[in-house]
Structure 1
Amino acid sequence: MPHPLRTLILGGARSGKSRHAESLVLDAAGMARARPVYLATFRPWSDAPDAEMDERLRLHQERRGDAWTTVEAPVGLPRALEDHAGAPVLVDCLTLWLTNLLLDEADLDAAFGALDRALAARAAPVVLVANEVGLGLVPETPLGRRFRDQAGFLNQRVAAVCDRVVFIAAGLPLQLKG
């Protein structure tokens, strides 16, 4: 059975989003006999050591092993998607990509439009991971509220073009679309 071309995986922190997304992309890659591509959007936000974040990165990398081609795409996500249009791709994650854009004071409309075009041009499955940040408290800072709002808008926009949308809670997938 063919895989949906575009899948969005949503959930909270430590919900199992990445693990679920990785399994979908590995399955699609196995069926296509192709090497999966992991588009990593994480970028350190300061030069200060962050042992907790380093450990998160290490666990992600360890779980992936050598089976993946990893491409760092902290802001150049649309271009990276275009560069790997024929391979099964995992984007982890849209929320970090948005964070990088906000901190760079990038033009969000232009960036989101470029993402729209890159997703529309896909020839192979793509699974995008994003945090659902709108279920918690209202952030107390203007930047926090802007981030929360833009994350919600981005998730809605991507969900609209995806063939399948899955919400992960406690490691359990709930299919919302597709």
Structure 2
Amino acid sequence: MSGIKVLILGGAASGKSEFAEEMVYSLGPKWRYIASAESFDDEMRDKIKRHAERRGEGWQVIEAPLDLAPELAAEDSRPVLFDCATMWLSNHLFAGSDMATAQADLLSAIAACPAAVVTVTNEVGQGIVPDNALARQFREAQGRLNIALARQADCVVQVIAGLPNVLKGTLP
């Protein structure tokens, strides 16, 4: 299934990354993993290590905290797991990026990628209104990014308690 675009979304620790990994396994024998997380503290280093151990062998890991376009533009048919759009967004907000341009570039790169792309993102808009401006800005930007990613995806899956709920399209 070359070229299919899938969005997996859910809350923190919902099982979305594990579900996305299983989906990518079904799309081909070798895989690319585009990681947007940066390890600034022990907790994040441990989380990154756990994810890597769970995935095991066979993954080409590409660290791209801000610019995924070169990796997605590569003439490479191996399925891509981009985990996650939420960390990517956080990185851009902290870097002071022009979010409209960054989001447009990301969406274009995903759409143009010749390989299957499975994107993981967090649903953050179902909680209370945050008490500070940066958190409200993040929540708004994440919601807008998720809408745009879902709009261009062939398949959208919400994962809750490890259980997938297909919101759009069919599972590849």
TM-score by length of 2: 0.93
Q: 1:159-170 maps to which residues of 2 (within 5 A)?
A: 159-170=150-161
- In the TM superposition, residue 37 of structure 1 has moved relative to its aligned partner by 0.1
Deviations 1:94-152 (A, max 9, x none): 00000000000001111111112112212221100000000111111100000000000
**Partner amino acid for 2:147?**
Q
For 1:149 and 1:85, locate their aligned partners in 2 and report how far apart those are by CA, in whole Å.
Answer: 34
Amino acid aligned to 2:126: L
Gaps of 5+ in 2: none
- Aligned residue number for residue 122 of structure 1: 113
Aligned to 1:143, which of 117, 134, 140? 134
Partner letter of residue 162 of structure 2? G
Quick one: distance in 2 between partners of 1:23 and 1:98?
A: 24
Shift in alpha-carbon separation, 1:123–1:3, aligned structure 2, 3 A: closer
Give per-residue Cα distances to partners, 1:1-30, cap 9 Å, x unaligned.
Answer: x47700000000100000000011111013
Alignment of 1:36-115 (within 5 A): 36-44=31-39, 46=40, 50-83=41-74, 85-115=76-106
Helix, strand or coil at the partner of 2:26? helix
Q: Given residue 58 of structure 1, which amino acid in structure 2 is its aligned partner?
A: K
- 2:148 equivalent among 133, 153, 157: 157
- Letter of the 2:19 counterpart: H
Partner Cα distance (2:33, 2:116) in 1: 12
Code of the residue aligned with 1:28 in structure 2: it is: L
* One-letter identity of the residue aligned with 1:10: L
Cα RMSD over matched residues?
1.4
Q: Which amino acid aligns with 2:73?
A: E
Which stretches of structure 1, 4 residues or more, deviate above 3 A after TM superposition? none
| Aligned pairs, number | 169
AA matched with 2:15: G
* Offset of residue 65 of structure 1: 1.4
